[in-house]
Structure 1
Amino acid sequence: MIRAGVVAGVLVVVCAAVCAAPAYGLSSVDDDKLFTFRDARITESSGLAVSPGHDGVYYTHNDSAARPEFYAVGENGRTKATFQLRGAEARDWEGMAASKDPETGRGVLWFADIGDNFDGAWPDISIYKVNEPRDLTDATLPAVRYRFRYADGARNAEGIMVHPKTGRLYVVSKEFAGGVYAAPKKLRTGRVNVLRRGVAAPLMATDAAYAPDGSSYVVRTYFSATLYRPSGEQISKVTMPDLEQAESIAYTADGKALLTGSEGPKSPVYRVPLPDAALPSVTPRASAPPDRPTAQGTRAAAEPASEPVGLTGRDILIWLVAAALAIGGIVLLARRTR
């Protein structure tokens, strides 16, 4: 009989080979290191966003077991300001997003306390809305808390994104068969808001972001990133730089590249150009722009569709390898503890 440890070792190699395979759409990673976080307090950068109101400024926050605070960082990687949130907790902050208020045009920051490693440990999750600070000086900012639950049961999640035209919020779950969950169009503070599943998400998604013009969105995993039309149609997979623990993704302000980061002290942030098919100049085929009537005469917002899109063959292969690896690890642990 083949020993469980040998099986597990073989599976690790297989998994590494599968996960390291070039992503569809780009044959190589043409990336540049934008900067490295220099602040010793930034040890688990889990969320990343480009400032809507300050040129050359990026926001990040730490993962779980941290205070409800975030950092404004310049292009040299140095912290410009640290902000505390009043009226917020940091149970397991896993992602953030930046948008502009459709009515006022002011920058808005969203912080997602959505991590749930036990898939149901919390009765609800929270996302905090904060007006972007006008001045980059240390301050405490008031936060608006929105509570959420999933219509189909609790789950773990690490990604949020906001549609730039409608301001609608989406949560992307981190699962073998994940999904993009839409928040209600109007969020309420006096009750729990319900998240409803729409299109499918890639295997074990760690972050997500909407393009500045709303023509596409991206979902990050530990191994690559996948670009989608608002309808859920896949555009391309994009090879990401080799990171210690890939946790964050965002679009650049011009929408022509992706920014991706990692957890860990002095972690880097890379800029990865988009493939031609996903550049802002390309008109989305699968959905009408927010202000253009559809064939039925109604106004359609370019948002994720409500029907799930299936997993790719590569996702299924990774899932099978991961499942086999988990089984091998359990067998090994059982034998050692007999």
Structure 2
Amino acid sequence: MRVRTIMRTLKSLFILFTIMSFVSAGCKDAPAEVDPIDSTIQQSNLFAAAQSMGDLQSPDLNEASGAAASRSNNIYLWTHNDSGGDPTLFLTTTIGADSGRFVLSGAQNIDWEDIAVGPGPDAALQYIYVGDIGDNRAVRSSLTIYRVPEPDLNVLDIPTTQNLANVEAINFVYSNGARDAETLMVDPLTNDIYVVSKREAQVGLYVLPFPQSTTEMDTARFLANLPFTNFTAGDISADGAEILIKNYFNIYYWPRSTGQTVQQALAATPQRLAYTTEPQGEAICFSLNANGFYTLSEMDSSDPVPVLFYRRN
């Protein structure tokens, strides 16, 4: 009798473990429990602790999964929802006010993960880059980065709803096979696009050199492994002199010297910045004048999502 009881208990535990494993595998981006920190990475006071600037007000923005500062007006940030939604960019002020929706004509949101603003093929324009680069199980045959000229926000009647035309699709594969990524950055000094993978024990740095093809399949070339994991967002400052990349637990900062490539800058040991841990922080960007940086989180149940600002000391 006792043996049967033990067997039933073991069977119940096995079923529970199986169910929990299945649920865990289905969770898209559950933060890892630990973030191993190299003892050589020092905490920096270059930026102050987080200040809440206000809550995101857009009722349709519930999975903020990227952020980029507008180049046309420094009070605005671009952001977007995560996978499966409409191909829509949300415009918010730096204090969270809902300022508009911009639909990318002809685009799809399979798994949008990050956004950047930077130069592109027309030197007179700034462009918005949207990374449809999420691939949780590394099964997608190709990925897409959408590029569209940034509208001049100073001449629009804000808040507004717009369709953005002239959307270009940069379709690409990785040089060493499919993988998941959530970090997209554009180098304002070279127009090169950088993607950083997510799930490896040491993530990969990839580049799509300028000019990127919009007519043929492009290849993101592997450059180097970085001794970090679970990177969820990144940004290069508008002057190209500073780089931020974050995961769920930490924000890392790299200065970039004159003449250095992004790869060379990231080869150095970064500094670790103050970070107020968010429920699922997957968005970071410098302010336009780099006097600080912003982070956003995906929504945690019904709680409002604050715009957090880290001011430069």
CA-to-partner distance for each residue in 1:62-116, whole Å, 9 max, x for gaps? 0011110011112331211111111100000011001134753322101110000
Output the CA distance in 1 between the equivalents of 2:94 and 2:195.
Answer: 28
Output the CA distance in 2 between the equivalents of 1:235 and 1:177.
Answer: 15
Mark the runs of 5 or more structure 2 residues left unpaired by the alignment.
Answer: 1-12, 17-31, 257-261
Aligned to 2:130, what secondary structure does the other structure show? Answer: strand
Aligned to 1:80, what secondary structure does the other structure show? Answer: strand
Mark the runs of 5 or more structure 1 residues left unpaired by the alignment.
Answer: 6-13, 277-338
Output the CA distance in 1 between the equivalents of 2:196 and 2:213.
Answer: 20
1:156 is displaced (CA, Å) by: 0.1
Q: 1:251 to 1:269 in 2, by over 3 A?
A: same
1:29 is displaced (CA, Å) by: 6.0
Residue 211 of structure 1 is matched in structure 2 by: 237
1:15 is displaced (CA, Å) by: 4.5
Output the CA distance in 2 between the equivalents of 1:90 and 1:112.
Answer: 9
Residue 26 of structure 1 is matched in structure 2 by: 44
Q: 1:16 to 1:168 in 2, by over 3 A?
A: closer
1:216 is displaced (CA, Å) by: 2.2
Output the CA distance in 2 between the equivalents of 1:61 and 1:73.
Answer: 10
Q: Which amino acid aligns with 1:256?
A: N
Paired residues in the alignment total 263
Verify: 1:132 aligned to 2:156, yes or no: no
Output the CA distance in 1 between the equivalents of 2:90 and 2:283.
Answer: 15
Q: What is the 5 A alignment of 1:47-86?
A: 47-86=66-105
- Normalised by the length of structure 2, the TM-score is 0.77
Aligned to 1:185, what secondary structure does the other structure show? Answer: coil
CA-to-partner distance for each residue in 1:245-297, whole Å, 9 max, x for gaps? 010111111223221110016311211245x7xxxxxxxxxxxxxxxxxxxxx
- Normalised by the length of structure 1, the TM-score is 0.72
Output the CA distance in 2 between the equivalents of 1:153 and 1:224.
Answer: 28
Output the CA distance in 1 between the equivalents of 2:114 and 2:213.
Answer: 21
Residue 116 of structure 1 is matched in structure 2 by: 135
Q: Does structure 2 retain, via aligned residues, the 8 Å contact 1:158–1:205?
A: yes
CA-to-partner distance for each residue in 1:14-68, whole Å, 9 max, x for gaps? 945968x9x7223796221122111111100001011000230111100011110
Output the CA distance in 2 between the equivalents of 1:118 and 1:17.
Answer: 21
Output the CA distance in 2 between the equivalents of 1:102 and 1:207.
Answer: 24
Q: Does structure 1 retain, via aligned residues, the 8 Å contact 2:95–2:307?
A: no
Residue 6 of structure 2 is matched in structure 1 by: none
Q: Which amino acid aligns with 1:99?
A: G
Q: What is the 5 A alignment of 1:1-338?
A: 15=33, 24-26=42-44, 30-101=49-120, 103-119=122-138, 121-134=139-152, 135=156, 136=158, 137-142=160-165, 143-175=167-199, 176-201=201-226, 202-228=228-254, 229=256, 230=262, 231=264, 232=266, 233-264=268-299, 266-274=304-312
